[in-house]
Amino acid sequence: MMHSLSIRVYYEDTDLAGIVYYANYLKFIERGRSEWLRVLGIDQVRLKADSGHVFAVRRLEADYLRPARFDDLLQVETGLVQMTAARIVLDQTVRRGGAALFAARVTLACLDGAGRPVRLPPALAAILSRGPDIAEK
């Protein structure tokens, strides 16, 4: 399943040279993950309130390929690669046009209210395993 989120680069996202500051790509892909879950019908606020379950980044591998610049229109693509009992692995790519600027593989762990790793709730695992191809227009 693939989700795409459009993001505009604002002045505040850039460094003195007008290039997106490296840490801001992590913010962009966080927004992509949140919107991917939202489009799948997963309300993270409700999930936490009802069961105490939250997602936390366990591992992140990132490649900075090309710079994004002020006023660029970017696409943040998010796709599920793997799901285990307690983890979700996603591939995320930030593109400008067809060119990949940043690529990351992100492993999310499901945690309980005390911050301990736990299995994904069955209803959540079912949604993730059957999720259709999705894209934001």
Token representation of residue 117: 């790793």
Q: Report the alpha-carbon distance of residue 71 to residue 13 in Å, rounded.
A: 10
| Positions marked catalytic | 15
Buried b (16+ CB within 10 A) or exposed e, 37-56: bebbebeeeebeeeeebebe
